[in-house]
Structure 1
Amino acid sequence: MSSFALPSSDSSPSSSGQSGGDTNTTTSSKFDEGVVLLEDKCNYVDALVLFDEVNTQISTLSLFSTNESISDVQTPYLKFLLLPFYKMLCMMGCRTDGAAARLSNVKNAQSMGVAFLTTIESLGGEVMGEDNVTIFHKLLGEMGGDEEDGSVRPRARGSSRDEKVARFRAQQKCSEEIKMITGKLQRRGRMDLSPEEMFEGGDEESLIRSLTTQQLKKCATQCIDELISMNQELEMLEMSAKFQSNMSARSPQELEDERIKQRDAANKGSGIKMTQVSIDPTSNQLLFKRQEARDGVFRPGWNLPTMTLQELGEIEYRDAMERAERDKEAEIRNKDKPTRYEYLVRDGLEDDIHKVDASAKVDRDWDDFKDANPRGWGNKMADVGDRNF
């Protein structure tokens, strides 16, 4: 995977002429398409391909400079600062076969997260925030030595409850700001205002800049949470990858010998010797046959483990990933499903005329159901009547 870094050139993209402007438009379109594939369709592989292409074009166009602050970055190019963060999410979401492949993905995602936060911090602390800067530096300080591939292996680190709550509240605050600014932009569009016309305290460019800044703040906080989760996952993945590597290096005969050795060790013991006495039906002579009762007769009365804790952890991890994928798909399927108007108001979607029209039938059906089924009609000795439920 290619890594994101700010180009060192100070050249402006506006000096590239008409062809440069066309290229910038293509870059922006690819970026937006990749965001849709990532957030709406969960198509991590195709989104990552587009983001890699955008990364290459950004480096070619020299849209950023290492000595800039965030106030020096042009508004249309602010969103490209989110590129390494989106690449990190794609790498974490890609399906892999085996712990070794997943380990490689998590390490690459970790590099993207570190690059994103480093870039945001270098552009000024007002976006990232002092608390996030402090936690980020602690994470960097807890990263271990270099691996063979040159990446760093972090030591597992938890997070206190207060820190988690603070980050959650910060993300919620940014989400509210994003929702408010988005509503202003939608109202400008419905009123067909020109980009330069002032409305609700600003023009279109200032609103877009504020919107992107809030997105950067929210993603920076989310990136901190992702890096902490990666630190904890990497330790388990390294153990699992090492186990799989050791197992794959052994021949089938060695594995069978090990299984027999473990079985014999479990059944080890002298046992109780017995003599079976029977009569030969032809000669009526007594026949003596010695037998041995193995120690297995005295095995515990409870069920013994059938797998190791590590194998159980891998199964639980796969199940959790599959559940998360199913929940995401269900959320996407239900996103455009008609719902009651009060829920549209709760979610801030009352300005969507198509959803409002669709909610009218749902509200009528709900009113008809309440008329046909008054509250308490199925309860014995209960009051019956409409309680506005």
Structure 2
Amino acid sequence: MADDNEPRTLKQIAALAAQKRQAIEATSPVSNPSYAADLETAIQAHRDTIQTISRVSLFSPNEPLDDIATPDLPYLLTESFLADLYLKTPTPNPIDRELVLSEAREAYERFLASLDSYEILTPAHKSLYSRYTDDPAAFSTVAASDPSKRRDAKIANFRAEKDLKARLATLAADPRYVDDGDEEILRALYLAQLEFAAHNAFQGLEGLNRELEVLAQAATARPLLPARETAEEDARRRRAAEESGHAERLEPRRLRSILEQSGPLLSKAGKPMRPFTLVGSREEAQAGVFRPGHNLPTMSIDEYLEEERRRGGIIEGGGEASFRRPEPDEDDHEKADEATYKARAWDEFVEANPKGAGNTLNRG
């Protein structure tokens, strides 16, 4: 059994990091109670791998790609893996999320810079990298503003990703790789993995830019306190409410001024002249005065209906009242003449317009 205090090799450190990363990829925060702790362990394992790579000077910016040994190529993926792990980090508030996104951006940038220095980037990825370095905060994998062109570009990105996955699957299933571990096919597989990681890195940079935009808009619309300050403020308010015996109330001077107001509740146009709350009855209003969350002032439904009736806002009648018609007054000659003229006008109209006269085509 090996001693834990013995220095570990780069291969051992990288293998441990890969094991931790694969365990995180196979689980989720919902199913794994220790997800956050396991994720932090995986992140630290990748940091250790990067530090060891730097300490042993595995890569040199002065050497070309052909000088890098085939077994060493996978170590170039470490920064990409680290960035992906950063993006999986659960955060309690927007401020911490911005810090996590900043860490992920730096890891992606180091990864792409290393690929660019060894000329591993494809022409398409090299063009994207140039656009990113020009304006990192506004970077998008789709440069066109026209909706149709953006749609075509997204379809092209999807097809490129599909082709990369198919090429990786083909190389991994090649008998020369599976049976013999042929170096040529192995090197082609590693380079394809780097190309696929570069594709995902640009997608990740675009995604975190969009997320930062959302966080900035949320901060502008509603300034947010750190979670700790928010919790302390909530606790302070609860203690104050418990000590006073009820929820927050109006300031006494303002409350007094509201209670002392007099005059009509509503204007002629129906606009409230002073605040009021509808309740079921006066007794309910009185009983609720000393309850938590009481809103002042109040008026009962009866008072409100009386006020509406005074303003003429209630139409009375209907029901049995609608069948009660006043008896005609025989002495009211003006009313009698009016009814006579109305009946005579109707008779003249019926004679001038016999039934069916307007329906010459017999429709209906």
The TM-score, its normalising length taken from structure 2, stands at 0.54
Aligned to 1:172: 162
> What are the residue-to-residue correspondences of 1:230-379 with 2, within 5 Å?
230-240=208-218, 243-245=223-225, 248=229, 273=264, 294=275
| Residue identity opposite 1:24 in structure 2 | L
Counterpart residue number, 1:93 = 88
Higher mean alpha-carbon deviation, 131-140 vs 211-220, is at: 131-140
Q: Is the 8 A contact 1:100 1:241 kept in 2?
A: no
1:195-234 equivalences under 5 Å are: 195=181, 204-234=182-212
The structure with more strand, counted as a fraction of residues: 1
Query: Given residue 111 of structure 1, which amino acid in structure 2 is its aligned partner?
Result: E
For 1:58 and 1:135, the matched residues in 2 are separated by 27
| Per-residue deviation, 1:35 | 3.9
- Matched residues, percent identical? 20
**CA–CA distance in structure 1, aligned partners of residues 226 and 249 of structure 2:** 15
RMSD, matched Cα: 3.8
Distance 1:272 1:93, change over 3 A: farther
CA shift for structure 1 position 71: 2.0
Q: Distance in 1 between matches of 2:140 and 2:276?
A: 46
Match of 1:184 in 2: 174
**Kindly tell me: are residues 119 and 296 of structure 1, through their superposed partners in 2, closer, same or farther at Cα, counting changes over 3 Å?**
farther
Aligned to 1:82: 77
**Partner Cα distance (1:222, 1:259) in 2:** 55
* Structure 2 letter corresponding to 1:36: Q
1:37 aligned to 23, 30, 35, which one?
A: 23
Q: How many residues align?
A: 231
Instruction: Return the alpha-carbon distance in structure 2 between the equivalents of residues 232 and 56 of structure 1.
Output: 31
Tell me the distance in 2 between the aligned counterparts of 1:271 and 1:114: 69
Rounded Cα–Cα distance in structure 1 between residues aligned with 2:101 and 2:250? 37
Question: What's the CA shift string for 1:289-336, capped at 9, x where partnerless?
Answer: xx9763778xxxxxxxxxxxxxxxxxxxxxxxxxxxxxxxxxxxxxxx
For residue 138 of structure 1, what is the aligned residue in structure 2?
Answer: 131
Listed one character per residue, the Cα deviations across residues 216-248 of structure 1 (whole Å, up to 9, x for unaligned) are: 111101111110111111122244457113995
Q: State the alpha-carbon separation in 2 of the partners of residues 187 and 212 from structure 1.
A: 11
How far apart are the structure 1 equivalents of 2:159 and 2:263? 68
Is residue 272–residue 293 contact of structure 1 (8 Å, CA) maintained in 2? no
Inter-CA distance 176–240: structure 2 relative to 1 (3 Å threshold): same
Whether the 8 Å contact between 2:141 and 2:202 is mirrored in structure 1 is: no
Cα pair distance change 1:246/1:41, threshold 3 Å: closer
2:249 and 2:207 mapped to 1: Cα distance?
36
The offset of 1:74, in angstroms, is: 0.8
Match of 1:121 in 2: 116
Give the whole-Å Cα distance in 2 for the aligned partners of 1:295 and 1:156.
54
In 1, Cα distance between the equivalents of 2:250 and 2:155?
Answer: 52
Partner of 2:301: none
The residue type paired with residue 273 of structure 1 is P
C-alpha displacement of 1:23 = 1.6
1:223 aligned partner, one-letter code: A
| Contact 2:132–2:139 (Cα < 8 Å) also in 1 | no
Is the 1:27–1:54 Cα contact (8 Å) retained in structure 2?
Answer: yes
Q: Is the 8 A contact 1:38 1:44 kept in 2?
A: yes
Offset at residue 76 of structure 1 (A)? 0.9
RCO higher in structure (CA 8 A, sep ≥6): 1
In 1, are the aligned partners of 2:177 and 2:185 still within 8 Å (CA)? no
Shift in CA distance, 240/179, structure 1 to aligned 2, threshold 3 Å: same
For structure 2, the 5+ residue unaligned runs are 1-5, 29-37, 143-149, 242-247, 267-271, 279-364
Distance in structure 2 (CA, Å) of the matches to 1:211 and 1:84 = 18
Instruction: Name the structure 1 match of 2:42.
Output: 47
Instruction: Report the more deviating stretch, 134-143 or 224-233.
Output: 134-143
Residues 173 and 246 from structure 1, CA distance in 2 versus in 1: closer, same or farther, beyond 3 angstroms? closer
Query: 1:227/1:292 Cα in 2 relative to 1: closer, same or farther (>3 Å)?
Result: closer
Displacement of 1:53 after TM fit? 1.0
1:99-114 map, 5 Å: 99-114=94-109
Contact 2:95/2:226 (CA < 8 Å) preserved in 1? Answer: no
Q: How far apart are the structure 2 equivalents of 1:259 and 1:66? A: 68
